[in-house]
Amino acid sequence: MADYASSSHPDPDLNNVPYSILAEAYDSPATPPRERPLKVLTAVVASVVFLVSLVGLVVNLVPEKTAPHSRVRDERGVLPRGVAEGVSAKSYPTPISSDGVSSYNWTNAMLSWQRTAYHFQPEKNWMNDPNGPLYHMGWYHLFYQYNPDSATWGNITWGHAVSVDLIHWLYLPLAMVPDQHYDRKGVWTGSATILPGGEIKILYTGDDDNSIQVQNLAYPSNHSDPLLLNWTKYEANPVMVPPEGIGLSDFRDPTTAWVGPDGEWRVIVGSKINTTGIALVYHTTNFTSYELVDHVLHSVAMTGMWECIDFYPVSTNSSFGLETSMVGPDVKHVLKASIDDLTKDYYAIGTYDPVNDTWTPDDASMDVGIGLKYDYGWLYASKSFYDPVEKRRILWGWINETDTEDDDFAKGWASVQAVPREILYDDKTGTNILQQPVKEIESLRLNSTEFEDILIEAGSIVPLDIGMATQLDMFAEFEIQGIDSFKATAATESNITECIYAETRTSYGPFGLAVLADGSLSELTPIYFRVVENDDGRLKTYFCADESRSSLAPEVLHTVYGSEIPVLDGEKYTVRILVDHSIIESFAQGGRRVITSRVYPTQAIYGAARLFLFNNATGINVTASIKVWELNSAFIRPFPLDQVEH
């Protein structure tokens, strides 16, 4: 058993002292600041029937909620990068401090530390959306939006890498570059479909010579090549252009196709009508000619542009993933849209009608764009695929930067991909999906340290002596002590309806872990549960991540993320956290809620990074048990093509 209050800790006075890592003197608003936003892509002739149906759609849909504007100019009056090109924001407003300085005085050591050890990222330059993930002849393939020339968005090509285990990656030459009239301004996001005989089809959005978003077809030049090094673009591209009634820059990101009961393939393209987000459905038999269905798969008012749509089945009675064309009585369908105006990935679970090509959410109040998110932190433009080897559905997602472009230029790169996640249906709630890191991440585990039944008194912090705390995989369980007797005297706090800063003390919390903290606690990122009591005496729980003190750098994003989370009777409060230098991925209650944090410590780096347990409640004690693994670095480097026989 490890010591959690080791006398060798550099700050022994912190052991069980009144909780002070987020002192009340810290000047911050009572509610989190509005998140700064981000994203990309689009582009076939439509019938009068379809146009009429769109008009009816706009007239008849009742607005659910108003989406905040994300395409705002910074203090210099400059639009975020990408907005003028018709995609979501790819940069963030640069704040100007009172002394006119817009960037922290970063050292090379600080910037070098930010590069991750086991998350996929290119050797250098800009990356955004994951594209067309697939498995082929022993290799997992990942394509991604990439700028080979700069650490900012632009000149978008398809980068390419392969892996045998989703953890260790080998870079390959660029798969596709913007060199044709239909994609000259960018080879944007797309998806892969594998036909029954193994033939691979890629549909992707191109930004053409006239800045019109169109859909294009590509396929491997040699299907027998395990590495899929060369790709052929269909000579008659584009295969789809914006239908009548659709904006020329509001038509993008085709999905993986699936087969309907009539034997025809279906594919979805994201769009909008005014402020209504929509999923257009096309039929094809050959992937070169397409017919637009005269109604949408689904739409939601006031959600704005839907991009990077994903649509796939989940089993309600097994722990296996399903191939994309699967339907049946024990199957639900997940519809996901990346909401351009919010730069968040929203999903809903519902029922797909394969005859009429419509999808209905199980709960209209939790529809796409107004309900659940894949990730309540910093993940966007996700893409899933079916893994035929392990019979599972795997999710990729883009983690963007929240620093400035000047900072990205200084370090020479921008953005990483999240650790691939397995997706399952949550049969305990019936209203959520579950996300967990793929099991292969466990191959990186080195030594482990375990702590059992640690008492964390109200208002205290407990250091955990684990050594280096910058590459970790940890699992923690928390229990509130004497909660039944305490509830009889506790005041209700029903006014709390969202995640708030960890410094704000309430009867039941917050309690959790402070990761990437330095010894003096000048920097830290709390990952925590906040339990509040409603007027009716029932408890509800929020799962949160507080980045407000994650960095001393003033220009990076400092905010609080999170959501209410179902905690069922008999369940403890549980969380799994992956720490990889400047990335924190947190999975609560088996993955019912996930928060990805993008942080930029200046002090809590290298050997100075520490891990703490804390309980900032005013009235209850908490016990915690936690197991922590140090993680090795992944092998990510160029493929030795000179050693491959041709």
Name the residue among 39, 40, 44 with its Cα closest to residue 215. 44
Q: CA 459 to CA 534: how far, in whole Å?
A: 22
Q: Is the peptide bond before 510 cis (omega within 30 degrees of 0)?
A: yes
Alpha-carbon span 516 to 152, nearest angstrom: 27
In eight-state DSSP terms, residue 143 is E
What is d(CA 454, CA 627) in angstroms, rounded to the nearest whole number? 12
Out of 13, 27, 129, 362, the active site residue is: 129
Closest by CA position to 201, among listed 141, 256, 146: 256
Distance between CA atoms of residues 128 and 379, nearest Å? 11
Strand partners, 595: 586
Q: How many CB atoms lie within 10 A of CB 281?
A: 23
Tell me whether residue 129 is one of the annotated catalytic residues: yes
Given a contact cutoff of 8 angstroms between Cβ atoms, the answer to whether 304 and 340 are in contact is yes
- Neighbouring CB atoms inside 10 A of 634's CB total 23
In whole angstroms, give the CA distance from residue 493 to residue 180: 60
Q: Cα separation of 469 and 447, whole Å?
A: 12
| Rounded Cα gap, residues 160 and 146, in angstroms | 9
Is the distance from CB of 421 to CB of 592 less than 8 angstroms? no
Distance separating alpha carbons of residues 22 and 454, to the nearest angstrom: 21
Q: Are strands 169-176 and 636-638 parallel, antiparallel or unpaired?
A: parallel
Residue pair 461/610 in contact (Cβ under 8 Å)? The answer is no
CB-neighbour burial class of residue 89 (10 A; exposed 0-12, middle 13-18, buried 19+): buried
Backbone angles phi, psi at 124, to 5 degrees: -160, 170
Sequence-separated (6 or more) residues with CB below 8 Å from residue 181: 208, 209
By annotation, the residues acting in catalysis are 129
